[in-house]
Amino acid sequence: MTTALPRIQVVILNLIPIFFLFSSSYAQSKVYIVYMDHSAIPRAFSTHHSWFESTLSSISENSELPISSKLIHTYTNSIHGFSASLTPSELASLQNSPGYIHSTPDRPMELHTTHSPNFLGMSTSSGVWPASSYGEDVIIGVIDSGVWPESESFKDRGMSRVPLRWKGKCVTGQQFNTSLCNKKLIGARYFNKGVRANFPDAKITINSARDNEGHGTHTASIACGNFVEGASYFGYAAGTARGMAPRARLAVYKVLWENYIYSSDVIAAVDQAIKDGVDVLSMSLGIFAEEDKFYDEDPIALATFAAMEKGIFVSASAGNKGRLFHGTIYNGAPWLTTVAAGTLDREFKGALTLGNDTKKITFESLYPGEFSGHREQIVFLNKCKSLKKLKRLKGKVIVVCKDGKNTNLGTQVDIIKNGSTSVISGAIFLTNYDYKDYYDYSFAAGFIDDENDRKTVMDYISKNKNPTGVLEFRKTILGTATAPKVARYSSRGPFARSRNVLKPDVLAPGSEILASWTPLDKVGEVHSKPLFSNFKLVSGTSMAAPHVSGLAALIKSVHPDWSPAAIRSAIMTTANPLDNTGSPIKDDGNNDEPASPLAMGAGFIDPNKAIDPGLIYDAETEDYVKLLCSFNYTAKQMKIITKTNTSCNGIKPSSDLNYPSFIAYFPSDLEGSHRPKVVREFIRRVRNVGNEKASYRAEVSGMSGFNVKVEPSKLVFRRKNEMLSYKLSVEGPISVVEEIELLVHGSLSWVEESGKHVVRSPIVATDIDPRPMR
């Protein structure tokens, strides 16, 4: 039976819907992001900003309107160009101006821990934390909704002076002054000119880097929050909170304003972060690629290409459009590290004890309010359709509701919530609706979806004239859940714009992550009364991305000369494809079937191994240019991305990027009876960053129905930093594949003969259309 989703506050995706209206006075103007050829600047201008102002002045239809009201942002580091409010005729004139390359409309975007470091095996006594000095002096930039600077997570206890290379600053604004920054929080800026231009009626309550949404404070503290003892969410997940890189420095760039966020502001934030000198960028937001379009529709991809060139590692959330749909990845540009969300081995529970402590039933819960914990009468109201029956109850009771035909779980919840709180101590709903993500309950309720547990409750009630029970909450249970699993909401690959690069890259903790929160935003309600907390449990790939940002900071601390691609390679090739039971990681969005790399990438991050990967797959700007040329981009399109006069003439295009994963496409056959045999080949080069002399042998696992060959099958390194190449061939299908949709996966592992290192890369063979699902 299918039942309706209960109408209670759901905390599962952490994806904030963005809604936009435009006032009539702005009907003729529209905000555009304009790409200019920086080399075309006339000698009369000393800065690009003055050139852009002059250009806008020359095309302006209203000479009385100051140019400063039209020019929104000037970009010089991430892209070359500006954003401006233009009428259709002004845009047409601009397109004929010297230096103009391209323009695209400004677009709205959307946002997409105590226990997670423990679950990742991180320890203060050994491993990645002490080896990296907890990421000290590495600077993480977080582009999000700002920061709550008073949070204990951002105190600078035990931290040394700010690195002299830092060029950023804390910008004064409403309810925010420079004294709020310290040796931990070393930068705070805010960007909202794009929001104001696109949506003049948007109400900005705090015009500064101060976070009144909570999302930015949460993601920043996951990445690099300091140690905070006694953290919890109303007793759930109690312990010491700390980020992945507790000694890393933090710079925040606020771009979210009361649920409004525009790409023009995000590009400005990336532009400034590059100039300030961050080492790592963490981005938990994005634009969904509705179609297989050129990269000018993806501002994060364009802006972060420049960050990659500057050696800045960028971690970005995969998006929350998951379940069974492929092609739902948000941030899939090959120079980004795309992070999917996984679960932890931690469960939050409530418990119902029946009778004289003889039978205890647990259920998932995050009810934050008070509860009696006393033995009380159980009243069975069957389908709980009548509010009158509730009002006739006397004394404190636990109400039990059972679903069935013509019942609606949401209606049952509403009826119980509207009942007398002086009588109803709590409620138990017996339902076959088994949606496993957590709810933020507004009253003391338990949802029991296990068939045997439902039967136990009903048998007890039917056999006892005066049934009683004890209802309890705030129970945190560790180590009992199979984990990690791919969260059902996490977006799936492939990524349409770069179909030959397997995405996502890795899986990181994303479900029910405890981290700091702003006290201005309520974290829940109990009986219609708002609750506030300094910490909150939130789910989403938004929470997964900063875990990888923090890990990248730790690796950067140990290997400061490594490129962003080298750091990504270390994270991917050491990721674990197995869960805590030693079985393949399962996909919660696919009935707990083994997860494919299109859902989890290379596997679950393993920080302690990532600082010593043995071999790395590196890539530089030249490699990405060759990949872009394989897309048949024009010289103008190449200039938009690379910001140079790079042309594909004379460049040998290659869709085979030196990436630590493989995805091979094969012709589809809708009849499922015959597929032509095809060979796909990949060339890879690896650099020895382990022992001076090392030998590795190739081991292939999985790939049923395909023949995978590695040449040579052994790599012998004679010195450190030596680079060797190999070829991987995937031939198939070599047997009849009955499935209409082909998706076979396995892995190639380079196993060091000494046993010290295993360098693993996922392999996917598929005929899945990488164009996004609609």
Residues that are catalytic? 144, 215, 542
Distance CA 204, CA 53 (A): 27
Please say whether the beta carbons of 334 and 495 come within 8 A.
Answer: no
- Three-class SS state of 743: strand
Distance CA 105, CA 20 (A): 14
Alpha helices by DSSP H, listed for 431-524, are: 451-463
Sheet holding 678-688: strands in order across? 615-616, 678-688, 723-732, 707-711
C-alpha distances (whole Å) from 102 to each of 49, 82, 328, 479, 601 are 18, 11, 27, 54, 34
Element (H, E) at 641: helix 635-642
DSSP annotation of 365 reads -
DSSP annotation of 234 reads T
Distance CA 660, CA 565 (A): 9
Give the pair of three-digit tokens for residue 505: 């890259």
353 phi/psi in degrees, rounded to 5: -100, 120
CA angle (493 as vertex; 492, 495 as ends), nearest 5: 135
Distance CA 237, CA 445 (A): 19
- Three-class SS state of 525: strand
Cα 360 to its chain centre, rounded Å, is 37
SS3 string, 471-505, reads EEEEEEEECCCCCCEECCCCCCCCCHHHCCCCCCC
Half-sphere exposure of 449 (CA within 13 A, CB side): 13
C-alpha distances (whole Å) from 90 to each of 53, 86, 507 are 14, 6, 46
- Three-class SS state of 80: coil
Residues 57-93 as b or e (16 or more Cβ within 10 Å = b): eebbeeeeeebeebbbbbbbbbbbbbbbbbbeebbeb
Half-sphere exposure of 166 (CA within 13 A, CB side): 22
Give the pair of three-digit tokens for residue 261: 């966020």
DSSP annotation of 226 reads P
Distance CA 253, CA 251 (A): 7
Distance CA 275, CA 97 (A): 28
Please say whether the beta carbons of 229 and 118 come within 8 A.
Answer: no
Distance CA 383, CA 403 (A): 6
What is the maximal distance between C-alpha atoms in the chain? 94
Element (H, E) at 600: helix 597-600
Helix and strand totals (H; E) in the chain: 17, 38
Other beta carbons within 10 angstroms of residue 694's beta carbon come to 23
